[in-house]
A and B are shown apart, each in its own frame.
Chain A
């Protein structure tokens, strides 16, 4: 397996694994946050506005880790510097 194939295969595999494992944690965390918020609204319906606002802010913070993993996966697939370098290094050999 030459370097080009190896880089492509590892990048694709890593991108899949990154987003797969990276979204488990935030999903569980958001579920817990939403459950607590629903319980709080059930106990104090008057404060529903504040609770909902705080819930949305917390969800965005928890989502951050999943977004980091998604950005890494996108970079590996579409803006991979190692792939670009390997393509440039292989181009003179293939054209000759």
Chain B
């Protein structure tokens, strides 16, 4: 039994002078998820403009984007448009990849450690970039020496370990869902595997949300904002403060 889609090779690309590159199922399924997102998004926003949306798909897309923007603003993002492309992509890619796992024959690309490590590396690179753009290089590096310079190695190790945790959390949840269903198919066919596919759908959505929220929390903490800090700027409607 295989526990990762990395071992199944779909086709082999001849790279000429560099030899051959066996393309595993992971990458082909990533391309399929990308195609679904790009084509779905383009069709849903066809003829977008200031007028009221006429199709249900556009309303659905606007709802999802609005929800992501609200969450980014609540986690202390200030203006959500800066973080929307990165955090929104993390959320939508992981969401669609996990949800498409129930399609028979489709192995979710997030069930492979390669994909999740790549996503975690994107977060690892994005956090300093956002921090340096906001506070400058010295301001960002100064955060490692707080509250005391003695904590600098621990802060660094903390950064690396939470990146690893991001990758393994997503990989473990998705891989465990597929492996449990495969094991149960051999023991009690049809009833329990269907229930566990439902559980896999639920955990897929939750893990996509967790990944995006954690990425946003790390970026917000590196920029110096505290979660919920942006809420104090808007006047309270009830008390008028």
Contact = CB atoms under 8 A, between A and B. Distances in A.
Interface of A: 50, 53, 56-57, 60, 63-64, 67-68, 70-71, 74-75, 78-79
B205 to A, nearest CB: 10
B210 A67 contact: no
A64 B169 contact: yes
B3 interface: yes
Interface in B57-105: 71, 74
B206 A64 contact: no
Interface of A is mostly: helix
Interface of B is mostly: helix
A64 B165 contact: yes
Contacts of B165: 64
B172 A60 contact: no
Given A56-B209, A57-B210, A57-B213, A68 B3 contact: no
A71 B207 contact: no
A75 B2 CA distance: 10
A71 B210 contact: no
Given A56-B210, A57-B213, A70 B176 contact: yes
Nearest to A79: B3
B66 to A, nearest CB: 15
Given A67-B176, A70-B176, A74-B179, A56 B171 contact: no
- Which residue, of A53, A56, A67, has the highest number of chain B Cβ atoms within 10 A? A67
A53 B3 CA distance: 31
B32 interface: no
A80 to B, nearest CB: 11
Contact of A78 (B3, B169, B171, B172): B3
Interface string B169-191: 10111011001000000000000
